[in-house]
Amino acid sequence: MNILDELKWRGAINQETDHEGLNKLVDQKSVGIYVGIDPTGDSMHIGHLIPFMILKRFQLAGHHPVIVIGGGTGAIGDPSGKKSERVLQTMDQVKHNQKALTGQMEKLFGQDGKFEIVNNYDWLSKLSLLEFLRDYGKLFNVNTMLNKEIVASRLEVGISYTEFTYQILQSIDFLHLYRHHDVQVQLGGADQWGNITSGTDLIHKVEGADAKVYGLTIPLLLKADGTKFGKSEGGNVWLDPEKTTPYEFYQFWINQDDRDVIRYLKYFTFLNQSQIAELAKKVETQPEKREAQRRLAEEVTEFVHGKQAVEQAEHISAALFSGDVSELTTAEIEQGFKNMPTVEVSAAPLDIVQWLVDATKIEPSRRQAREDIKNGAIRINGQKVQDVDFVIDPAAKFDGKFVIARRGKKHYYLARVK
Protein backbone atom coordinates (compact mmCIF):
# COMPACT_ATOMS: atom_id res chain seq x y z
CA MET A 1 0.00 0.00 0.00
CA ASN A 2 1.55 3.30 -1.06
CA ILE A 3 0.76 6.68 0.49
CA LEU A 4 -2.14 7.40 -1.88
CA ASP A 5 -3.74 4.02 -1.15
CA GLU A 6 -3.46 4.74 2.56
CA LEU A 7 -4.97 8.21 2.19
CA LYS A 8 -7.86 6.75 0.19
CA TRP A 9 -8.51 4.20 2.97
CA ARG A 10 -8.46 7.01 5.51
CA GLY A 11 -11.01 8.97 3.46
CA ALA A 12 -8.52 11.81 3.09
CA ILE A 13 -8.55 12.40 -0.68
CA ASN A 14 -11.05 14.78 -2.23
CA GLN A 15 -9.64 15.82 -5.63
CA GLU A 16 -6.52 15.02 -7.64
CA THR A 17 -5.33 16.68 -10.83
CA ASP A 18 -3.92 13.38 -12.17
CA HIS A 19 -4.28 10.29 -10.00
CA GLU A 20 -2.40 7.93 -12.29
CA GLY A 21 0.52 10.30 -12.75
CA LEU A 22 0.85 11.05 -9.04
CA ASN A 23 0.43 7.40 -8.09
CA LYS A 24 3.26 6.45 -10.43
CA LEU A 25 5.44 9.28 -9.14
CA VAL A 26 5.16 8.39 -5.42
CA ASP A 27 6.11 4.79 -6.26
CA GLN A 28 9.23 5.89 -8.14
CA LYS A 29 10.88 8.50 -5.92
CA SER A 30 10.81 10.67 -2.83
CA VAL A 31 8.44 13.47 -3.80
CA GLY A 32 8.58 17.09 -2.68
CA ILE A 33 5.14 18.13 -1.44
CA TYR A 34 4.07 21.39 0.11
CA VAL A 35 1.32 22.92 2.20
CA GLY A 36 1.05 26.65 2.81
CA ILE A 37 -0.34 28.59 5.73
CA ASP A 38 -0.72 32.35 5.96
CA PRO A 39 0.27 33.96 9.27
CA THR A 40 -3.14 35.52 9.93
CA GLY A 41 -2.82 34.45 13.58
CA ASP A 42 -0.09 33.35 15.96
CA SER A 43 -1.34 29.78 16.34
CA MET A 44 -2.91 27.05 14.28
CA HIS A 45 -6.18 25.53 15.43
CA ILE A 46 -7.21 21.94 14.79
CA GLY A 47 -8.96 22.87 11.55
CA HIS A 48 -5.57 24.00 10.22
CA LEU A 49 -4.02 20.79 11.46
CA ILE A 50 -5.80 18.53 8.95
CA PRO A 51 -3.60 19.13 5.84
CA PHE A 52 -0.47 19.10 7.98
CA MET A 53 -1.43 15.66 9.34
CA ILE A 54 -1.56 14.48 5.72
CA LEU A 55 1.79 16.17 5.04
CA LYS A 56 3.22 14.34 8.06
CA ARG A 57 2.04 11.05 6.56
CA PHE A 58 3.99 11.85 3.39
CA GLN A 59 7.03 12.55 5.56
CA LEU A 60 6.70 9.21 7.37
CA ALA A 61 6.33 7.47 3.99
CA GLY A 62 9.74 8.82 2.93
CA HIS A 63 8.68 11.91 1.00
CA HIS A 64 9.93 15.46 1.49
CA PRO A 65 7.56 17.98 3.11
CA VAL A 66 7.96 21.69 2.48
CA ILE A 67 5.95 24.12 4.61
CA VAL A 68 5.32 27.58 3.21
CA ILE A 69 4.70 30.29 5.77
CA GLY A 70 2.93 33.00 3.77
CA GLY A 71 4.72 36.11 4.91
CA GLY A 72 3.96 37.60 1.49
CA THR A 73 0.46 36.26 0.86
CA GLY A 74 -0.44 36.79 4.53
CA ALA A 75 0.06 40.50 4.04
CA ILE A 76 -2.54 40.38 1.23
CA GLY A 77 -5.26 38.01 2.47
CA ASP A 78 -6.81 34.87 1.00
CA PRO A 79 -10.47 35.37 -0.02
CA SER A 80 -11.25 31.72 0.79
CA GLY A 81 -14.08 31.17 3.24
CA LYS A 82 -14.65 34.90 3.78
CA LYS A 83 -17.77 36.86 2.90
CA SER A 84 -15.94 40.16 3.07
CA GLU A 85 -12.43 41.58 2.75
CA ARG A 86 -9.88 40.62 5.36
CA VAL A 87 -8.52 43.37 7.56
CA LEU A 88 -4.91 43.85 6.50
CA GLN A 89 -2.36 43.18 9.23
CA THR A 90 0.68 45.28 9.98
CA MET A 91 4.01 43.78 8.95
CA ASP A 92 4.97 43.59 12.64
CA GLN A 93 1.89 41.40 13.27
CA VAL A 94 2.76 39.23 10.28
CA LYS A 95 6.35 38.76 11.50
CA HIS A 96 5.20 37.88 15.02
CA ASN A 97 2.76 35.31 13.65
CA GLN A 98 5.40 33.87 11.29
CA LYS A 99 7.71 33.20 14.22
CA ALA A 100 4.98 31.53 16.28
CA LEU A 101 3.78 29.31 13.42
CA THR A 102 7.35 28.32 12.54
CA GLY A 103 7.82 27.10 16.11
CA GLN A 104 4.68 24.97 15.89
CA MET A 105 5.76 23.46 12.57
CA GLU A 106 9.22 22.62 13.89
CA LYS A 107 7.60 20.77 16.77
CA LEU A 108 5.33 18.75 14.47
CA PHE A 109 7.83 17.93 11.72
CA GLY A 110 11.22 18.00 13.38
CA GLN A 111 11.07 14.61 15.05
CA ASP A 112 11.86 12.36 12.10
CA GLY A 113 12.90 12.77 8.48
CA LYS A 114 13.89 15.91 6.62
CA PHE A 115 11.62 18.86 6.05
CA GLU A 116 11.85 22.50 5.05
CA ILE A 117 10.12 25.66 6.18
CA VAL A 118 10.25 28.55 3.73
CA ASN A 119 8.67 32.01 3.64
CA ASN A 120 7.10 33.25 0.42
CA TYR A 121 7.91 36.83 1.39
CA ASP A 122 11.50 35.96 0.39
CA TRP A 123 10.58 35.74 -3.32
CA LEU A 124 7.27 37.61 -3.65
CA SER A 125 8.72 40.78 -2.10
CA LYS A 126 11.36 40.91 -4.82
CA LEU A 127 8.83 41.10 -7.65
CA SER A 128 8.31 44.52 -9.18
CA LEU A 129 4.86 45.51 -10.40
CA LEU A 130 6.01 45.38 -14.01
CA GLU A 131 7.51 41.91 -13.55
CA PHE A 132 4.31 40.71 -11.90
CA LEU A 133 2.18 41.97 -14.79
CA ARG A 134 4.49 40.98 -17.68
CA ASP A 135 5.82 37.63 -16.42
CA TYR A 136 2.73 36.31 -14.65
CA GLY A 137 -0.39 38.46 -15.08
CA LYS A 138 -0.22 37.95 -18.85
CA LEU A 139 -0.56 34.18 -18.34
CA PHE A 140 -3.83 34.35 -16.39
CA ASN A 141 -7.19 34.65 -18.14
CA VAL A 142 -9.62 36.83 -16.16
CA ASN A 143 -12.63 34.75 -17.24
CA THR A 144 -10.97 31.62 -15.89
CA MET A 145 -10.06 33.38 -12.64
CA LEU A 146 -13.65 34.59 -12.18
CA ASN A 147 -14.96 31.05 -12.55
CA LYS A 148 -12.77 29.71 -9.74
CA GLU A 149 -15.05 28.91 -6.80
CA ILE A 150 -12.82 30.84 -4.41
CA VAL A 151 -13.54 34.03 -6.40
CA ALA A 152 -17.02 33.25 -7.72
CA SER A 153 -18.37 32.91 -4.17
CA ARG A 154 -17.36 36.51 -3.50
CA LEU A 155 -18.61 38.22 -6.65
CA GLU A 156 -22.07 39.01 -5.28
CA VAL A 157 -20.71 41.02 -2.34
CA GLY A 158 -17.58 42.16 -4.17
CA ILE A 159 -13.88 41.40 -4.05
CA SER A 160 -10.93 43.77 -4.22
CA TYR A 161 -8.25 43.49 -6.87
CA THR A 162 -5.83 42.70 -4.03
CA GLU A 163 -7.65 39.53 -3.00
CA PHE A 164 -8.52 38.72 -6.62
CA THR A 165 -4.79 38.40 -7.39
CA TYR A 166 -4.19 36.00 -4.50
CA GLN A 167 -4.46 32.95 -6.77
CA ILE A 168 -1.69 34.38 -8.98
CA LEU A 169 0.60 34.80 -5.96
CA GLN A 170 -0.09 31.26 -4.78
CA SER A 171 0.63 29.99 -8.29
CA ILE A 172 3.96 31.83 -8.25
CA ASP A 173 4.72 30.03 -4.97
CA PHE A 174 4.21 26.65 -6.62
CA LEU A 175 6.38 27.62 -9.59
CA HIS A 176 9.16 28.88 -7.29
CA LEU A 177 9.08 25.71 -5.19
CA TYR A 178 9.09 23.54 -8.33
CA ARG A 179 12.16 25.35 -9.63
CA HIS A 180 14.15 25.76 -6.42
CA HIS A 181 12.98 23.09 -3.95
CA ASP A 182 12.10 20.14 -6.20
CA VAL A 183 8.44 20.33 -5.19
CA GLN A 184 6.02 18.54 -7.49
CA VAL A 185 2.85 18.35 -5.40
CA GLN A 186 0.70 20.93 -3.64
CA LEU A 187 -1.67 19.73 -0.94
CA GLY A 188 -4.52 21.78 0.52
CA GLY A 189 -8.08 21.85 1.76
CA ALA A 190 -11.03 21.48 -0.59
CA ASP A 191 -11.41 25.26 -0.76
CA GLN A 192 -7.91 25.55 -2.24
CA TRP A 193 -8.66 23.55 -5.40
CA GLY A 194 -8.95 26.62 -7.62
CA ASN A 195 -5.65 28.07 -6.37
CA ILE A 196 -3.88 24.72 -6.71
CA THR A 197 -5.01 24.16 -10.30
CA SER A 198 -3.98 27.73 -11.14
CA GLY A 199 -0.53 26.78 -9.95
CA THR A 200 -0.28 23.59 -12.03
CA ASP A 201 -1.55 25.51 -15.07
CA LEU A 202 1.09 28.22 -14.60
CA ILE A 203 3.90 25.67 -14.32
CA HIS A 204 2.74 23.89 -17.46
CA LYS A 205 2.65 27.20 -19.36
CA VAL A 206 6.10 28.28 -18.18
CA GLU A 207 7.97 24.98 -17.89
CA GLY A 208 6.16 22.93 -20.53
CA ALA A 209 3.11 20.71 -20.67
CA ASP A 210 5.17 17.66 -19.68
CA ALA A 211 6.21 19.15 -16.30
CA LYS A 212 5.27 16.60 -13.65
CA VAL A 213 3.31 18.63 -11.11
CA TYR A 214 0.19 17.58 -9.27
CA GLY A 215 -2.52 18.95 -7.00
CA LEU A 216 -4.23 17.09 -4.20
CA THR A 217 -7.00 18.25 -1.86
CA ILE A 218 -8.60 16.76 1.22
CA PRO A 219 -12.35 16.75 1.92
CA LEU A 220 -14.10 19.26 4.13
CA LEU A 221 -14.44 17.45 7.43
CA LEU A 222 -17.97 17.54 8.84
CA LYS A 223 -19.27 16.10 12.08
CA ALA A 224 -22.06 13.53 12.10
CA ASP A 225 -24.59 16.28 12.84
CA GLY A 226 -23.55 18.09 9.64
CA THR A 227 -21.69 20.97 11.32
CA LYS A 228 -18.11 21.90 10.51
CA PHE A 229 -15.42 20.12 12.48
CA GLY A 230 -12.92 22.04 14.58
CA LYS A 231 -14.64 24.04 17.27
CA SER A 232 -15.70 23.45 20.87
CA GLU A 233 -18.34 25.37 22.81
CA GLY A 234 -15.63 27.84 23.77
CA GLY A 235 -14.56 28.47 20.17
CA ASN A 236 -11.48 27.32 18.30
CA VAL A 237 -9.32 24.53 19.72
CA TRP A 238 -5.80 25.93 19.40
CA LEU A 239 -2.44 24.19 19.20
CA ASP A 240 -0.89 26.91 21.36
CA PRO A 241 -1.04 25.61 24.98
CA GLU A 242 -1.52 29.17 26.22
CA LYS A 243 -4.75 29.47 24.22
CA THR A 244 -6.05 25.92 24.69
CA THR A 245 -4.40 24.02 27.53
CA PRO A 246 -3.26 20.44 26.83
CA TYR A 247 -5.96 19.28 29.26
CA GLU A 248 -8.67 21.16 27.31
CA PHE A 249 -7.16 19.82 24.08
CA TYR A 250 -7.30 16.25 25.43
CA GLN A 251 -10.89 16.75 26.64
CA PHE A 252 -11.99 17.97 23.20
CA TRP A 253 -10.93 14.70 21.61
CA ILE A 254 -12.19 12.41 24.37
CA ASN A 255 -15.66 13.96 24.12
CA GLN A 256 -16.18 13.11 20.45
CA ASP A 257 -19.37 11.42 19.29
CA ASP A 258 -19.32 7.65 18.68
CA ARG A 259 -20.46 8.38 15.13
CA ASP A 260 -17.34 10.46 14.43
CA VAL A 261 -14.56 8.85 16.41
CA ILE A 262 -13.43 6.22 13.88
CA ARG A 263 -13.20 8.81 11.08
CA TYR A 264 -11.12 11.00 13.36
CA LEU A 265 -8.85 8.09 14.25
CA LYS A 266 -8.21 7.64 10.53
CA TYR A 267 -7.57 11.35 9.98
CA PHE A 268 -5.67 12.38 13.07
CA THR A 269 -3.69 9.35 14.24
CA PHE A 270 -0.99 7.13 12.79
CA LEU A 271 -2.66 3.92 13.98
CA ASN A 272 -2.83 1.22 11.32
CA GLN A 273 -5.88 -0.46 9.81
CA SER A 274 -5.99 -3.40 12.22
CA GLN A 275 -5.66 -1.14 15.27
CA ILE A 276 -8.47 1.11 14.09
CA ALA A 277 -10.65 -1.87 13.14
CA GLU A 278 -10.26 -3.22 16.67
CA LEU A 279 -11.30 0.12 18.15
CA ALA A 280 -14.28 0.26 15.76
CA LYS A 281 -15.48 -3.06 17.21
CA LYS A 282 -15.19 -1.63 20.72
CA VAL A 283 -17.39 1.32 19.69
CA GLU A 284 -20.04 -1.13 18.48
CA THR A 285 -19.88 -3.61 21.36
CA GLN A 286 -18.74 -1.53 24.36
CA PRO A 287 -19.45 2.13 23.59
CA GLU A 288 -19.79 3.00 27.27
CA LYS A 289 -16.05 2.38 27.80
CA ARG A 290 -15.15 5.04 25.18
CA GLU A 291 -11.87 3.28 24.41
CA ALA A 292 -11.74 4.72 20.89
CA GLN A 293 -12.18 8.26 22.21
CA ARG A 294 -9.51 7.75 24.85
CA ARG A 295 -7.05 6.43 22.28
CA LEU A 296 -7.87 9.33 19.95
CA ALA A 297 -7.24 11.85 22.73
CA GLU A 298 -3.96 10.17 23.69
CA GLU A 299 -2.61 9.99 20.14
CA VAL A 300 -3.45 13.53 19.03
CA THR A 301 -2.43 15.16 22.30
CA GLU A 302 0.91 13.35 22.24
CA PHE A 303 1.52 14.37 18.61
CA VAL A 304 0.84 18.05 19.33
CA HIS A 305 1.99 18.46 22.94
CA GLY A 306 4.10 15.41 23.83
CA LYS A 307 3.72 12.38 26.08
CA GLN A 308 4.07 14.31 29.33
CA ALA A 309 1.05 16.43 28.39
CA VAL A 310 -1.02 13.26 27.90
CA GLU A 311 -0.02 11.95 31.33
CA GLN A 312 -0.85 15.31 32.88
CA ALA A 313 -4.25 15.49 31.15
CA GLU A 314 -5.12 11.96 32.27
CA HIS A 315 -4.03 12.76 35.83
CA ILE A 316 -6.26 15.85 35.91
CA SER A 317 -9.19 13.91 34.41
CA ALA A 318 -8.89 11.12 36.97
CA ALA A 319 -8.69 13.60 39.86
CA LEU A 320 -11.77 15.53 38.72
CA PHE A 321 -13.73 12.32 38.17
CA SER A 322 -12.88 10.91 41.61
CA GLY A 323 -13.02 14.25 43.40
CA ASP A 324 -9.54 13.76 44.86
CA VAL A 325 -7.77 16.89 43.67
CA SER A 326 -5.28 16.91 46.55
CA GLU A 327 -2.54 15.24 44.49
CA LEU A 328 -2.72 17.68 41.59
CA THR A 329 0.17 20.07 41.07
CA THR A 330 -0.26 23.83 40.88
CA ALA A 331 0.31 23.68 37.11
CA GLU A 332 -2.36 20.99 36.76
CA ILE A 333 -4.80 23.14 38.74
CA GLU A 334 -4.15 25.98 36.26
CA GLN A 335 -5.10 23.66 33.39
CA GLY A 336 -7.95 21.65 34.87
CA PHE A 337 -9.79 24.54 36.50
CA LYS A 338 -9.29 27.15 33.79
CA ASN A 339 -13.00 27.26 32.96
CA MET A 340 -14.40 26.54 36.43
CA PRO A 341 -16.27 29.26 38.37
CA THR A 342 -13.50 31.43 39.82
CA VAL A 343 -13.29 33.94 42.67
CA GLU A 344 -10.47 35.87 44.28
CA VAL A 345 -9.78 35.48 48.00
CA SER A 346 -7.46 36.95 50.57
CA ALA A 347 -4.38 35.06 51.73
CA ALA A 348 -5.51 35.43 55.36
CA PRO A 349 -6.87 32.29 57.11
CA LEU A 350 -10.64 32.34 57.65
CA ASP A 351 -13.17 30.00 59.22
CA ILE A 352 -14.96 27.85 56.66
CA VAL A 353 -18.46 29.29 57.12
CA GLN A 354 -17.27 32.86 56.58
CA TRP A 355 -15.12 31.73 53.67
CA LEU A 356 -18.00 29.96 51.92
CA VAL A 357 -20.49 32.77 52.45
CA ASP A 358 -18.63 36.08 52.63
CA ALA A 359 -15.33 35.48 50.83
CA THR A 360 -16.49 33.34 47.91
CA LYS A 361 -20.33 33.47 47.81
CA ILE A 362 -20.30 29.69 47.21
CA GLU A 363 -23.03 29.33 49.85
CA PRO A 364 -26.04 31.68 50.00
CA SER A 365 -26.24 31.82 53.80
CA ARG A 366 -24.49 30.75 57.00
CA ARG A 367 -27.34 28.37 57.81
CA GLN A 368 -27.01 26.63 54.42
CA ALA A 369 -23.21 26.55 54.76
CA ARG A 370 -23.37 24.87 58.18
CA GLU A 371 -25.94 22.36 56.90
CA ASP A 372 -23.84 21.42 53.86
CA ILE A 373 -20.69 21.11 55.97
CA LYS A 374 -22.35 18.81 58.52
CA ASN A 375 -23.87 16.70 55.72
CA GLY A 376 -20.45 16.12 54.11
CA ALA A 377 -21.29 18.10 50.96
CA ILE A 378 -18.22 20.35 51.17
CA ARG A 379 -14.67 19.42 50.17
CA ILE A 380 -11.71 21.76 50.44
CA ASN A 381 -8.64 20.87 48.36
CA GLY A 382 -10.04 17.37 47.91
CA GLN A 383 -10.69 16.68 51.59
CA LYS A 384 -14.17 16.34 53.04
CA VAL A 385 -14.75 18.91 55.80
CA GLN A 386 -17.56 18.35 58.35
CA ASP A 387 -16.28 20.59 61.14
CA VAL A 388 -18.00 24.00 61.07
CA ASP A 389 -15.05 25.47 63.02
CA PHE A 390 -12.51 24.38 60.40
CA VAL A 391 -10.15 27.18 59.35
CA ILE A 392 -9.17 27.50 55.69
CA ASP A 393 -5.53 28.54 55.25
CA PRO A 394 -4.93 29.50 51.60
CA ALA A 395 -1.18 29.05 52.06
CA ALA A 396 -1.54 25.38 53.01
CA LYS A 397 -1.80 23.91 49.50
CA PHE A 398 -0.97 24.53 45.83
CA ASP A 399 1.94 26.86 46.57
CA GLY A 400 -0.42 29.27 48.29
CA LYS A 401 -1.98 30.20 44.93
CA PHE A 402 -5.31 28.36 44.99
CA VAL A 403 -8.01 26.85 47.16
CA ILE A 404 -10.26 24.28 45.48
CA ALA A 405 -13.77 23.95 46.86
CA ARG A 406 -16.38 21.40 45.86
CA ARG A 407 -20.04 21.60 46.80
CA GLY A 408 -21.94 18.40 46.19
CA LYS A 409 -20.70 15.92 43.61
CA LYS A 410 -20.08 18.16 40.61
CA HIS A 411 -19.82 21.82 41.56
CA TYR A 412 -16.19 22.90 41.68
CA TYR A 413 -14.94 26.40 42.47
CA LEU A 414 -11.47 27.80 42.04
CA ALA A 415 -10.41 30.44 44.56
CA ARG A 416 -7.35 32.38 43.42
CA VAL A 417 -5.34 33.85 46.27
CA LYS A 418 -4.65 37.57 45.87
**Residue positions in the annotated binding site for ATP?**
231
Are 366 and 357 in contact, with CB atoms under 8 Å apart? yes
Residue list, annotated binding site for L-tyrosine: 34, 166, 170
All residues at 6 or more sequence positions from 155 whose CB lies less than 8 Å from its CB, including other chains:
146
Length of the chain counted residue by residue: 418
Are 13 and 4 in contact, with CB atoms under 8 Å apart? yes
- Strand ranges (E), 73-162: 116-119
Q: What is the b/e burial string over 277-303, where b = at least 16 CB atoms within 10 angstroms of the residue's CB?
A: eebeeebeeeeeebbbbbbbbbbbbbb
Task: Give the distance, in angstroms, between the CA of residue 139 and the centroid of all CA atoms in the same chain.
Answer: 36
Measuring CA to CA, which residue among 167, 226, 212 is closest to residue 193?
A: 167
> What is d(CA 276, CA 108) in angstroms, rounded to the nearest whole number?
22
All residues at 6 or more sequence positions from 98 whose CB lies less than 8 Å from its CB, including other chains:
39, 69, 71, 74, 119
The residues pairing with 45 across neighbouring beta strands, listed in sequence order, are 238
Q: Is 207 left (phi over 0), alpha (psi -120 to 50) or beta?
A: alpha
DSSP β-ladder status, 183-189 and 32-37: parallel
DSSP β-ladder status, 231-232 and 235-236: antiparallel
Q: Which pairs count as long-range contacts for 152-157, CB under 8 Å and 24+ apart, including other chains? A: 154/79, 154/82, 154/83, 157/83, 157/84
> What is d(CA 217, CA 207) in angstroms, rounded to the nearest whole number?
23
All residues at 6 or more sequence positions from 215 whose CB lies less than 8 Å from its CB, including other chains:
15, 16, 17, 185, 186, 188, 193, 196, 197, 199, 200
Q: What is the DSSP string of 214-275?
A: EEEEEPPPB-TTSSBSSEETTEE-BSSTTTS-HHHHHHHHHT--HHHHHHHHHHH----HHH
